[in-house]
Amino acid sequence: MSSLLPAELREERIWEADAFGKAVGVRIAGLDRKLSYVPLTDEEAAAVNYVFDYGLERLRRVLPSVAAIIERQRALALAMAGVAKATFPTRKKYVFPCSSNLGVAWLFPQAIRYAASPTDSLPAYTDYSPNSWDIPLTAGQPAYILGDLVAGTEKFYKACPTTDQHAFLLFFKDALIEYGSSPSAEQFRLISEGKVDYGVYTVDPLVEVPVERGVCAYQYPTPLGALFVDHLKGVVWKFMPGRDGAATLKPLGLVYYEYDFAKELKWVA
């Protein structure tokens, strides 16, 4: 299974994001971050592929055009598993079903907002409501997918940094989906603690056209590329709402994690 990756991704090394993206065939939002990488065994790659495939099969049934975009990012999913493995403090291996060591799953709300009351030691800063894909909106005031504004200070989001519960998030390129009667945004901004000078990016003027006929789902492109988030360097990803209310915003991606992060059903309270 690891043979699905190019030869240069079969050895341990540190990568620049641009070069890593070229190797896997997907642009990556590096945001001035390097990627430590270790290759997977064939057994580990099989576990990641299995999880990738069962989610992809479901997507083919409901949003086939989005499924096609995700399918082209298989090498990214495998390679980022190696980045997560190298990033966690203790070197472990992937298994599925996860009964020890490392696991992988499709993103779910508690993987992003893993603390009900984020702090600098548990920096799950986000505007997502706990245990939900809903983000409250006020027209003209930024809303945060990752990060938050706390007492006038912008806070950067990091994946879970707790010992034996580390997590690593991958957001697939062009796979931010809003579900509902109408889309909420046209302007986005993505920065990191090491790269704060990027300005806004915008989506196309026809974003209000559903991605599939008869389905109230709207697709936002991510022109900076796929996004990875670890526990080391924080990220802010925000947008400007054009309406009041709430957005049901579902990013498609994977979470790689140490077993204790999701060894039991997870509810944030």
239 lies in some domain: yes
Tell whether 269 is covered by a domain. no
The answer to whether position 187 is within a domain reads yes
DSSP classification of residue 8: G
Please count the CA atoms within 13 angstroms of the CA of 186 that sit on its side-chain side: 9
Distance of CA 71 to the CA centre of its chain: 16
Instruction: Note whether residue 264 is domain-resident.
Output: no
Q: Which two tokens stand for residue 123?
A: 């920096």
Q: Which domain holds residue 145?
A: 2-259
End-to-end CA distance of the chain: 39
> Tens digit of pLDDT per residue, the chain (269 long)?
556 788 889 899 999 999 999 999 999 999 999 999 999 999 999 999 999 999 999 999 999 999 999 999 999 999 999 999 999 999 999 999 999 999 999 999 999 999 999 999 999 999 999 999 999 999 999 999 999 999 999 999 999 999 999 999 999 999 999 998 788 999 999 999 999 999 999 988 777 777 777 788 899 999 999 999 999 999 999 999 999 999 999 999 999 999 999 999 999 99
In a domain, 16, yes or no: yes
Q: Are strands 13-16 and 34-37 parallel, antiparallel or unpaired?
A: antiparallel
Task: Report which DSSP code applies to 127.
Answer: S
Write a three-state SS string for 251-267. Answer: EEEEEEEEHHHCCCCCC
When divided into structural domains, the chain yields a total of 1
Tokens 């641009």 sit at which residue?
18
On whether residue 154 sits in a domain, the answer given is yes
SS3 136: strand
Task: Compute the distance between CA of residue 83 and CA of residue 245 in angstroms, rounded to an integer.
Answer: 37
Q: Output phi, psi for 267, to 5 deg.
A: -140, 130
Q: Which residues pair with 191 in a beta bridge?
A: 236
